[in-house]
């Protein structure tokens, strides 16, 4: 994190990445003094509502973040930046996106958790687009020409008001990670009761084990002895609001609909109280570790791995076989995981895997048979990318 004082003093000359968060209400024009070097600009967590025309001077800018600001209109001045590839306006108050708002090299756009009713048709002209996050808006339909986004690989349209299944998306040739729950077209009254409901007073949370977009997972202990559950448990407490992947309630229902599988985190019980939603799960043994790391700004949609990490071909083949089995189980239960990645997979020294994180999952039993088959084919692409990524770390 940098400071406005550092910027104004000239101390930051030559930097390629600038991050300012000081409740700014105006874009500091001193940023323009970094035009010769600045590639990444993060102005998240401020009070900005506009950007100046002078921003066109930042000719080397590739990435711009402005999450958690009160913008109400997407600033079309960004379209003038020739090398801008990634734009993030998560959790603003954007209602309007102008017709010619997008720069020519845009490949990653985040508009999650805004108030957008309509997207311009020009979005379909962003032919380099690989990653598009639109969850948590008020969209009732999508531009028909999104069918032109032939490079799109990851798409989030959950938690909108889409009335019909957007058929123009289902035939995209590279789409692999797709989240669409929480829309009228896939509304389900299904309340899965595959596990019992219990009171949150039954357990006490201990140390945090992990945290994601939709909630926090903690180790927990029972407050009195339980005969029907294992002694060691983990509890995921959902955050209760829309996330980058959709609504927590949809995640819970999809997770329960899938049921149990040896290579999935096992669900034991649920808590569904006012302002408190939680899932009780088996505690994963501590010798399991993450198989991959999330995509980077450079890799965009593809997993990354620690430097020097490798796997034997035998271990890769075993993991792939187990993941194929998980894939079949998911789709036999008409659930699209939406986030089939190595970074959502744990593994041990014997190459056993445990797959989890249903934040982007979508149930699709209510769709037509043709639509269901296309959803399955989309996620099969993600499975193939998973295999490719593991093969990229095969030991010599």
Quick one: which of 65, 107, 114, 101 has its CA closest to 85?
A: 107
What does residue 231 show for φ and ψ, rounded to 5 degrees? -70, -40
Phi, psi angle pair for 73, to nearest 5°: -125, 130
Report the alpha-carbon distance of residue 294 to residue 306 in Å, rounded.
11
Beta-bridge partner residues of 311? 394
- Please provide residue 238's backbone torsions phi and psi, each rounded to the nearest 5 degrees: -75, 150
Q: What secondary structure, in 3-state letters, does 113-128 show?
A: CCCCCCCCHHHHHCCC
C-beta neighbour count of 346 within 10 angstroms: 19
Q: Is 236 annotated as a binding residue?
A: yes
Q: How far apart are alpha carbons 202 and 220 in whole angstroms? A: 10
Helix (H, G, I), strand (E, B) or coil at 362: strand
Residue carrying the six token digits 């593809």 = 302
Nearest to 58 by CA among 20, 15, 22: 15
Distance CA 248, CA 259 (A): 17
What is the rounded distance in angstroms from the CA atom of residue 26 to the CA atom of residue 184?
39
C-alpha 16, offset from chain centre = 26
Q: Are 70 and 49 in contact (CB under 8 A)?
A: yes
Is the CB of residue 184 less than 8 Å from the CB of residue 163? Answer: yes
Q: Which two tokens stand for residue 170?
A: 């289902």
Beta strands in 144-240 (DSSP E): 154-156, 177-179, 203-211, 215-222, 233-238
- Establish how many alpha carbons lie within 13 A of residue 300's alpha carbon, considering only the half-sphere containing its beta carbon: 21
CB 101 within 8 A of CB 119: no
SS3 347: strand
Known binding site for ATP: residues?
A: 236
Known binding site: residues?
A: 236
């Amino acid at each position: 994190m940098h400071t406005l004082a550092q910027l104004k003093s000239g101390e930051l000359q030559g930097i390629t990445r600038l991050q300012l968060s000081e409740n700014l209400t105006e874009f500091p024009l001193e940023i323009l003094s970094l035009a010769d070097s600045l590639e990444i600009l993060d102005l998240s967590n401020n009070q900005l509502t506009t950007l100046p025309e002078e921003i066109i001077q930042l000719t080397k800018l590739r990435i711009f973040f402005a999450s958690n600001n009160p913008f109400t209109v997407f600033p079309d001045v960004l379209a003038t930046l020739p090398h801008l590839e990634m734009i993030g306006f998560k959790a603003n108050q954007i209602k309007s996106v102008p017709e010619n708002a997008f720069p020519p090299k845009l490949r990653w756009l985040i508009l999650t958790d805004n108030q957008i009713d309509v997207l311009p048709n020009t979005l379909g002209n962003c032919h380099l687009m690989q990653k598009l996050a639109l969850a948590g808006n008020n969209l009732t339909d999508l531009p028909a020409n999104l069918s032109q986004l032939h490079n799109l690989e990851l798409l989030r349209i959950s938690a909108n008001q889409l009335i019909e299944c957007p058929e123009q998306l289902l035939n995209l040739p590279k789409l692999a990670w797709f989240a669409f729950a929480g829309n009228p077209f896939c509304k389900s009254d299904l309340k899965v009761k595959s596990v019992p409901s219990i009171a949150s007073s039954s357990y006490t949370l201990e140390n945090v084990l992990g945290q994601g977009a939709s909630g926090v997972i903690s180790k927990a202990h029972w407050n009195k002895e339980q005969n029907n559950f294992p002694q060691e448990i983990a509890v995921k407490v959902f955050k209760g609001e829309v996330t980058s992947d959709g609504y927590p309630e949809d995640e819970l229902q999809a997770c329960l609909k899938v049921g149990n599988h040896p290579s999935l985190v096992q669900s034991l019980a649920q808590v569904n109280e006012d302002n408190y939603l939680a899932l009780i799960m088996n505690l994963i043994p501590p010798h399991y570790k993450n198989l991959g790391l999330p995509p980077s700004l450079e890799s965009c949609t593809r997993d990354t791995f620690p430097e020097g990490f490798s796997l034997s071909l035998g271990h890769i083949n075993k993991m792939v076989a187990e993941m194929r089995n998980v894939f079949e189980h998911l789709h036999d239960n008409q659930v699209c995981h939406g986030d089939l990645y190595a970074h959502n997979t744990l593994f041990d020294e014997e190459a056993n895997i445990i797959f989890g994180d249903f934040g982007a999952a979508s149930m699709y039993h209510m769709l037509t048979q043709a639509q269901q088959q296309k959803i399955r084919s989309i996620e099969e692409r993600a499975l193939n990318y998973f295999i490719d990524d593991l093969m990229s770390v095969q030991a010599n």
